[in-house]
Chains A and B, each alone.
Chain A
Amino acid sequence: MDISTYTSGKTDQAIFDCLLQGGMERRKGEELLFSTYSYFIREGTKKYSLPEEEAFDAYSDSVLSAIQKVISGNFEGRSSLKTWLFQIFQNKCVDLLRKKATNKNSVHNTVSVSDMLHQLSDTAKTIVQKMIEKTDWELLKKKVSELGEKCRELLLLSADGYSDREVAAQLKYKSADVVKTSRLRCLDKLRQLYKNPLHDAEY
């Protein structure tokens, strides 16, 4: 897809170029996207009477969601980046208002988990989902922070959608295969830490 066909300006094109380039350029693209349309936050406070902090959260979530879609090739380009992002932002604001109205605060965003399970049969999906619901997210988060810095960094980059090859380039690993082996070892280590809190922390 030639994204330039669907974008309205040079800035949008620069954002797409950086995001799709990967590595440190992707980080630059993320920040550029955030800055370019950060005035939406003020729109959110005016239009939806949200406190600045909540409008900021809604906007940040919108930017992160947009980044994810662009990277995974799910941006269809039916409208300009601005229009598309604003639509996502509006939906986030409305969701936020609904949550406030029903007094529901989600502890953990499980959307990404549901996305992962879409290949499973309904029976298998139900089994896994029920087990996931039992996850102690705070403990898991704590155990992630207890992993060694290298392991943590590797896992975070992988979870952010970087390929093993990109992670190898960024973290100076010899090859993508080494990254893959290290990543799986780190995950296994995290599991041991989570399941057995007395397990040796540093890895």
Chain B
Amino acid sequence: MMQNIEYINAYFDKNLSPDEMRQFDQKIQDDPVFADEVAFYCSSLSALKDQMNEEKKKRFREIYNTEELLKENKPPVVFMRRWLKVAAVAAVILIILMAGWFWWPQPTPKEMADKYIKENFNELPVTMGNENSLQKGKNLYNDNKPAEALEQFETILKTDTGNTEAKKYAGIVSLKLKQYDKALEYFSDVEKTTLHTNPGKFYHALTLMKRGNPVDMLKAKQLLHEVLENDLAEKRTAEEWLGKW
């Protein structure tokens, strides 16, 4: 019997020559007792393997139970870790947003002034009806004839030196023509008048911002503060600009 087991073992260990393997195969077909021994050899190896796997599974079960027990004993830690992770991510996002707020390039005062002029002084407001001299000036400006518009407003002021509207528009057109000194002169005059919503001080600051000298900037900032404190025209814009300054 032992001889047969050695022979069977040699076959499954692939230690037989091709000829011997063919003979082995034939012997299974011819000899039922030998075939039964081969079947038992295979069955026993399979059963042993299964038993080995069962033992390994028992080991795995012990490991798994230990791991689960450890997890169960540490729920607050796991929760805290998750919570901390979320908090950390939120903190990082907040820091990035704050850094962006502080370090994101803010527009310069000159850029703010340019934007305001582009948005507000592209056209002057006109009224329907008979064209008076002030209206004529505004139409000239809107027809892209700023020099002629300024001449028109100055003509009005020669005969009507106290015409605040004409002074305001003369200042705006001067600002558009980059005649800053002249614009400042007109806006300073507007400032002194007692208009209900007097934009003189704001336009004065705007002109200084547009001219952009260091001293102009200091003065402009001061004027914007005054607009804010005295609740003058364009108070909201002044507040916004000071926030970005």
Contacts and interface: CB of A to CB of B under 8 A. Distances in A.
Interface of A: 30-31, 34-35, 38, 41, 56-57, 60-61, 63-64, 108-110, 112-113, 116-117, 119-121, 123-124, 127-128, 131-132, 135, 137, 140-141, 144, 155-160, 180, 184-185, 187-188, 190-191, 194-195
Given A119-B21, A160-B52, 6 more contacts: A56-B61, A64-B53, A127-B35, A132-B42, A135-B47, A144-B48
Interface string B147-173: 000000000000000000000000000
B5 A131 contact: no
B28 A128 contact: yes
B5 A187 contact: yes
B38 interface: yes
Contacts of B87: none
Contacts of A35: 63, 67
A56 B5 contact: no
Contacts of A119: 11, 21
Given A159-B48, A159-B49, A187-B5, A60 B56 contact: yes
B222 interface: no
B121 interface: no
A131 B36 contact: yes
Interface residues of B, number: 40
Nearest to A108: B50
Given A57-B57, A64-B56, A144-B51, A191 B6 contact: no
Contact of B28 (A64, A124, A155): A124
Lowest 3 A-B CB distances belong to which pairs? A131-B39, A159-B48, A124-B28
B215 interface: no
B59 to A, nearest CB: 7
Main secondary structure of the interface of A (DSSP, over half): helix
Max chain A C-beta neighbours (<10 A), residue from B12, B36, B40: B40
Contacts of A112: 45-46, 49
Contacts of A31: 59-60, 63
B35 A187 contact: no
Interface string B117-150: 0000000000000000000000000000000000
B188 interface: no
A114 to B, nearest CB: 9
Most chain A beta carbons < 10 A, residue from B42, B43, B63: B43
B44 A38 contact: no
22 contacts: A30-B56, A31-B63, A34-B64, A35-B67, A57-B57, A60-B56, A61-B53, A64-B57, A109-B46, A110-B46, A112-B46, A112-B49, A128-B39, A131-B39, A135-B39, A135-B40, A144-B44, A155-B44, A156-B51, A180-B9, A184-B9, A185-B2
A142 to B, nearest CB: 10
A128 B44 contact: no
Nearest to A130: B39
A123 B41 CA distance: 18
B17 interface: no
Contacts of A140: 43-44, 47
A184 B36 contact: no
Nearest to A41: B64
B45 A121 contact: no
